[in-house]
C-alpha cells in the first residue's frame, strides 16, 4: 500500500491506495482511530491556512513501517555478473575509506590513464597513483585479483612502475583492503588473499614455487603516506 496526497476543493487530504492505485478503506487500519489522527505534525506536516480543518479531518497516522533487506549473497551474485559495476563499487569504497583516514584524492581526467586515483597525505609533494582492483569470489580458499590491465587490442599486460605506484585490492564481501606497492608485485600473475586466515594448506606444486603470501599488505594504508 501507499500513502498519497489527493487534492480536494478545500485543499488536500491523505489517502491510502493499493498496488493497483485503488483507494483503500482507511477505517480498516489500526491507526484510523488514533488520537493522533487529527494532528498533521505527526506526519511531518504543518497546517497551512489555505487548507485548514479539511487537511486535519482527512489526515491519518502510519504507526510503523518496516523494510526487509535483500540477502547479501544474492546481491553479490548480480554484482559479480557485471565486472564494470563491481569495479565501480570498489572505487567508491576506496574513495570513502581513504577520505575517512585523512587522505586527499583526485581522479584523473578521462579514462586514458592506468590509475584510478592520485592520493596524497600530509606531505602534498608526494603523490601516489593507485589502481583499485575488486575481488569477490573465493578460489582455493582465497580471494584473487590479477595485477594486469587490458590493452586496446585485448591483450593482458602487467602493471609496471611506469603505470601505477600501488594496487589497492578490495575484498568486497568482507570490505578488507590490501595495498601493495607495484615493486612488490613484480612479475606475479595473480595475487591471492586470505583475510580470514588460510583455510586450505597451500602446497608447493611440482616444478613450481609456492604462491607468495600477501597478508603483510593487509590494510597497509601507510603506503599512501602519512596523514
Residues 96, 176, single domain; the answer is yes
**178 or 24: whose pLDDT is higher?**
178
Asked, for residue 134, whether it belongs to a domain, the answer is: yes
* Cα–Cα distance for residue pair 214/220, rounded to 1 Å: 11
Q: Is the pLDDT of residue 143 over 60?
A: yes
Residue 217 lies in a domain: yes
Regarding whether 197 and 111 lie in a shared domain, the answer is yes
* Statement to judge: residues 92 and 137 lie in one domain: yes
Rounded to 10 deg, the angle between the 72-80 and 83-100 helix axes is: 110
Q: Is pLDDT at 216 greater than 50 in this prediction?
A: yes
pLDDT at 138: 85
Same domain? 9 vs 120? no
Q: Identify which has the larger pLDDT, 93 or 9.
A: 93
Burial class from Cβ neighbours inside 10 Å (0-12, 13-18, 19+) for residue 167 reads buried
Which of the two residues, 44 and 91, has the higher pLDDT score?
A: 91
Pairing of strands 176-181, 128-135: unpaired
Residues 46 and 86 in one domain: no
The reply to whether 156 and 206 lie within a common domain is yes
CATH number at residue 157: 3.40.1350.10
Asked if 151 and 113 touch (Cβ cutoff 8 Å), the reply is no
Is a pLDDT exceeding 70 seen at residue 15?
Answer: yes
Q: Is residue 158 situated within a structural domain?
A: yes
Single residue among 19, 42, 57 that ends a domain in this structure? 57
Lowest mean pLDDT among 40-49, 70-79, 157-166: 40-49
- Residue 15 domain-assigned (yes or no): yes
Predicted confidence (pLDDT) at residue 28 exceeds the cutoff of 60:
no
SS3 58: coil
Share of the chain above pLDDT 70, in %: 67
114 and 18 in one domain? Answer: no
Residue 133 and residue 220 in one domain: yes
Compute the distance between CA of residue 226 and CA of residue 220 in angstroms, rounded to an integer. Answer: 12
pTM over 0.75? The answer is: no
Distance CA 30, CA 96 (A): 43
Same domain, 139 and 180: yes
Give yes or no: residues 6 and 97 share one domain: no
Residues of the chain by 3-state class (helix, strand, coil), percent to 5: 25, 25, 50
Cα separation, 195 vs 142, in Å, equals: 8
Judged against a pLDDT cut of 60, whether residue 46 lies above it is answered with no
Q: Which domain holds residue 44?
A: 2-57
**Overall number of domains in the chain:** 2
| 41, part of any domain | yes
- Overall average pLDDT of the 191-199 stretch: 84
Share of the chain above pLDDT 90, in %: 43
Give domain status of residue 20, yes or no.
Answer: yes
Residues 86 and 154 in one domain: yes
Same domain, 202 and 101: yes
Amino acid at each position: 500500500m501507499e500513502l498519497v496526497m489527493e487534492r480536494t476543493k478545500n485543499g488536500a487530504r491523505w489517502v491510502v491506495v493499493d498496488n493497483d492505485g485503488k483507494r483503500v478503506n482507511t477505517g480498516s487500519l489500526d491507526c484510523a482511530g488514533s488520537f493522533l489522527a487529527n494532528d498533521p505534525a505527526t506526519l511531518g506536516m504543518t497546517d497551512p491556512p489555505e487548507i485548514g480543518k479539511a487537511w486535519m479531518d482527512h489526515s491519518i497516522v502510519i504507526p510503523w513501517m518496516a523494510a526487509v533487506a535483500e540477502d547479501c549473497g544474492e546481491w553479490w551474485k548480480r554484482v559479480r555478473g557485471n565486472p564494470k559495476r563491481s569495479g565501480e563499487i570498489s572505487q567508491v569504497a576506496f574513495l570513502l575509506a581513504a577520505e575517512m583516514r585523512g587522505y586527499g584524492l583526485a581522479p584523473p581526467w578521462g579514462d586514458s590513464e592506468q590509475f584510478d586515483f592520485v592520493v596524497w597525505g600530509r606531505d602534498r609533494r608526494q603523490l601516489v597513483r593507485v589502481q583499485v582492483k575488486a575481488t569477490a569470489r573465493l578460489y582455493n580458499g582465497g580471494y584473487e585479483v590479477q595485477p594486469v590491465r587490458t590493452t586496446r587490442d585485448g591483450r593482458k599486460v602487467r602493471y609496471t612502475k611506469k603505470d601505477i605506484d600501488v594496487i589497492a585490492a578490495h575484498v568486497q564481501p568482507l570490505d578488507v583492503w590490501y595495498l601493495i606497492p607495484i615493486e612488490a608485485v613484480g612479475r606475479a600473475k595473480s595475487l591471492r588473499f586470505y583475510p580470514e586466515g588460510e583455510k586450505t594448506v597451500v602446497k608447493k606444486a611440482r616444478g613450481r614455487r609456492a604462491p607468495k603470501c600477501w597478508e603483510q599488505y593487509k590494510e597497509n594504508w601507510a603506503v599512501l603516506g602519512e596523514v
